[in-house]
Structure 1
Amino acid sequence: MYAVIISEPKSRTEFSIREDAASFTARAIFSCKLTGLPLDVLTDGFLTHGNEKTSHQLMSCLASFRRLSSEPSMALRRCIPDYEMICNNSKHVVIKTIRMRMSSMERLLVNFPRLKVIHLMRDPRGTVRSQKRYGGFTHSSNDTESVENFCRTVLRDVLDREDLQRRFPNRIMSVFYEDIAKHPITSSKELYSFLGMNYTSESEKEILHMTSSGIAEKNCGALCTNRSNSSQEAYEWRHEISIGFVKKVDKVCVDLYNKVGYNTIPNKTVLQDLQYQLRNNN
């Protein structure tokens, strides 16, 4: 079973540059043909986050051989074959990506008949707030265009996803970040079922640890995989973003709101009132 999780883009300027590289990388991983990937892909810092043991083993192996030789190909020759063997023997291969758009999923769905796609969405105000914090957007007079382009791209993904769902029934699922954060167990069971994966007591224990253990990772910023309270953190932005910027997002993202069901926020009181639902049927 293959699965790709499509999340929201980081910035509009990356799409034309990164899309082809992202598709190539996804095909290589799904095929377990990793020797053709650049070393940077296989040693990216993202692989050190989370609890995926195989990735940690690969990183450790590559680091060991790179200390012995300055020639990157040596590390690849010694470490990648074992990683490919593990990949080929795995029941499931999963990728989470923010670099690929729904428009690029058709070819993968055709080439990999067992592939399933999860479209992960988040309230654009929360996403933009996160991107502002980490440099994706600037809080200035000229950021309206960036926000507008972002929401237009997310809307395009939604429309493309609906088209693909009609053409590839039972192979694409859409989920909302806030729903997963609020109901991690129920949401996880639905995701496991969709992917044909066994949901075990160990799975539930790990999910509870990641979402509601009361213990958060330290010094990992936005890359943390464990959250002390996922539901609380999903709406943390409502206490940190200005109502002026929220209104700007509400105005330029109206088409996305109408399609997905997001509600506008009229004032600061409503912004910080967590009883106010930000999306219809939330």
Structure 2
Amino acid sequence: MARGVTFGELLPNGADYVETTATSAIDLQLEQSERRRRRRRRQMWVQNWLTTMARQEHCQYYHLVQRLKQDNPNQFKKYRRMPVELFDERALDGKNIKIRAPALSGSDYWCDDKSCYAIVLLALVDYNYKFLWVDTGGLGHQSDAHIFSAFHLKDRLETGTLGLPPPETIEQAAAGAGGQQRRTFVMKPWSKKYMTKEELNYRIMANRWRRLMTVFYQAPEVAQTTTECYIVLHNLTRLKYPATLRAHYGSFKSNINYEEMAINTLEGIWNCSFENVDLDTLTQFHMQESNTTKEHHKCIKKNPGVNGIVTCLPHLKELCQSKRINSQKVVRLPLRLVSPLMKKYPDLKILHLVRDPRASIISQYVKLKYFPWNQLQKYTETFCARVHEDLQTTAKIARDYPGRIKLVRYETMAEHPLEITDELYQFVDAKITKELHKYVYDRTLSGKKDTNCVTCLVKSNASVAANKWRTSIGLRAAQAIDAKCGKVYTLLGYKPVKTVLDLKNLTGSLKISDIKFAGMTV
């Protein structure tokens, strides 16, 4: 590997700024990635409403469609060929549940396709992966169409007693898998071989309730009852505790019910209604670092499980109701979700904390591995589009609800922690004390040894720590971020870098002081 390029000989006064070999390798990787991107031809057609930002934020089909229904009903009708008010997608399919061959059953339970003995689960599910109608009495040798012909749902559909619109309104039909006959209430929009795992509801359920992926050694009746219990638990989990699904359905941000769950969690904590808050939030490790929730965290450690949480909730609720101010730190929540709550909660105030996009992106790469480095430009575009959207929402809230939202730059807070603390306490109409001033000073300016605890940071000099990212990023990487975040820089007063000296000289600021945004000085 080639030696790192030393800039000490090139810069005035013998400055010893060094571009390391690692940074050079990153720059080379960026250049190669850009060449491939220019060379690569587009290989698929994508709906114009399905932007990179939408895919990154919502990820899954259900959530994308729900967002489109809300934002642009006309585009939704054009895309789905049906109006919003009539769209109600369902799917019908069967799943073999493996069992041990029952005594004296012959070949009744034998399934040739799977080469095993099984009962058949035939189910109708909705677009949110919830079961609507199930039959677990099918025998392994029977096809889906055979079972459906004896399915009590079929009789209700054919006699028109299920409450569906007339047959000509095909928007209310169910999507059947390959074995289903076409009827006025059943369509086959795709072949089964093109379905993904997320489009097959029983695979999602089986991935959560792993017992369904093994063989039942009990009688068929026991296997039927157990499967039906899992279906009830699956539906309950989707409705009541969507956050507990994330280990199986992807990251928290891509959870199907993320937006609904996020708002329910916020309102549950604001109203001290913790029985409406998901289990992950009630047991997260951050609670051990807060003076007000530390005892609750100790309680659930002593009393593990759901019953333990129920035991500990009354004390947490009593503590919450005794406080005048209820504050929450929310990371990467789109502000458009909170904006409608400003009218519902007249006392709600928002502190919008922003940071230099270069620092945020590097931190998310180094500490959280949110994206591969060769996808830096793509991720930056999505990230800054999201920040820009939040800033537009902040400006709208500032116009509609003056004095109830405050924008603060992270770098300004790091440079003047005591002054910003005074402003924040004044913003929420709270009294600041000498003890609090000392607490802030000890953790930002006292010169104490730095700590790396996620929730209990102590910095010997907060301003230096806030700019430390500039020593770990190369010029080309910084300029790649600059190219995608120009609108955000203009609004927040951040400066693009032109030379290595601009980037590495920590005595020079990369922000404009006292810039105005929506009538606020940031």
TM-score between the two structures when normalised by the length of structure 1: 0.88
CA contact 2:451–2:457 (8 Å) conserved in 1:
no
- Counterpart Cα distance in 2 of 1:94 and 1:59: 18
Q: C-alpha deviations, 1:229-251, integer Å up to 9, x for none?
A: 21110000011111111010001
Partner residue of 2:465 out of 203, 222, 233: 233
Partner residue of 2:491 out of 232, 243, 259: 259
State how 1:143-158 maps to structure 2 within 5 Å.
143-158=376-391
Partner residue of 1:28 out of 264, 268, 274: 268
Decide which moves more: 164-173 or 75-84: 75-84
Aligned with 2:327: secondary structure? strand
Query: How much does 1:54 deviate?
Result: 1.8
- Counterpart Cα distance in 1 of 2:483 and 2:373: 16
Query: How much does 1:260 deviate?
Result: 2.0
Partner residue of 2:404 out of 171, 181, 189: 171
Partner residue of 2:507 out of 269, 275, 278: 275
Query: How much does 1:273 deviate?
Result: 1.4
Question: 2:379 matched to 1:139?
Answer: no
Question: 2:281 matched to 1:47?
Answer: no
Structure with more helix by fraction:
1
Bigger Rg, which one? 2
Q: What is the match of residue 197 of structure 1?
A: 430
Do the aligned partners of residues 239 and 172 (structure 1) sit closer, same or farther apart at CA in structure 2, a change above 3 Å counting? Answer: same
Aligned with 1:75: secondary structure? helix
- Counterpart Cα distance in 2 of 1:23 and 1:78: 25
Question: 2:291 matched to 1:57?
Answer: no
Decide which moves more: 12-21 or 239-248: 12-21
Aligned with 1:96: secondary structure? coil
- Counterpart Cα distance in 2 of 1:253 and 1:180: 22
Q: C-alpha deviations, 1:107-141, integer Å up to 9, x for none?
A: 2212211110000000001111101102123322x
CA contact 1:62–1:76 (8 Å) conserved in 2:
yes
Query: How much does 1:35 deviate?
Result: 1.8
How many residue pairs get matched?
263
CA contact 1:23–1:100 (8 Å) conserved in 2:
no
- Counterpart Cα distance in 2 of 1:48 and 1:231: 27
- Counterpart Cα distance in 1 of 2:441 and 2:487: 36
TM-score between the two structures when normalised by the length of structure 2: 0.48
Question: 2:339 matched to 1:106?
Answer: yes
Do the aligned partners of residues 30 and 216 (structure 1) sit closer, same or farther apart at CA in structure 2, a change above 3 Å counting? Answer: farther
Partner residue of 1:208 out of 437, 441, 448: 441
CA contact 1:216–1:226 (8 Å) conserved in 2:
yes
Decide which moves more: 180-189 or 91-100: 91-100
Do the aligned partners of residues 216 and 81 (structure 1) sit closer, same or farther apart at CA in structure 2, a change above 3 Å counting? Answer: farther
Aligned with 1:118: secondary structure? strand
Quick one: higher RCO (CA 8 Å, sep 6+), 1 or 2?
1
Give % identity: 28
The runs of 5 or more residues in structure 2 that have no matched partner are 1-55, 60-251, 515-522
State how 1:47-126 maps to structure 2 within 5 Å.
47-49=287-289, 52-66=290-304, 72-126=305-359
Q: C-alpha deviations, 1:199-242, integer Å up to 9, x for none?
A: 1001101111221233346452x544322221110000011111
Query: How much does 1:19 deviate?
Result: 2.8
The runs of 5 or more residues in structure 1 that have no matched partner are 1-10, 67-71
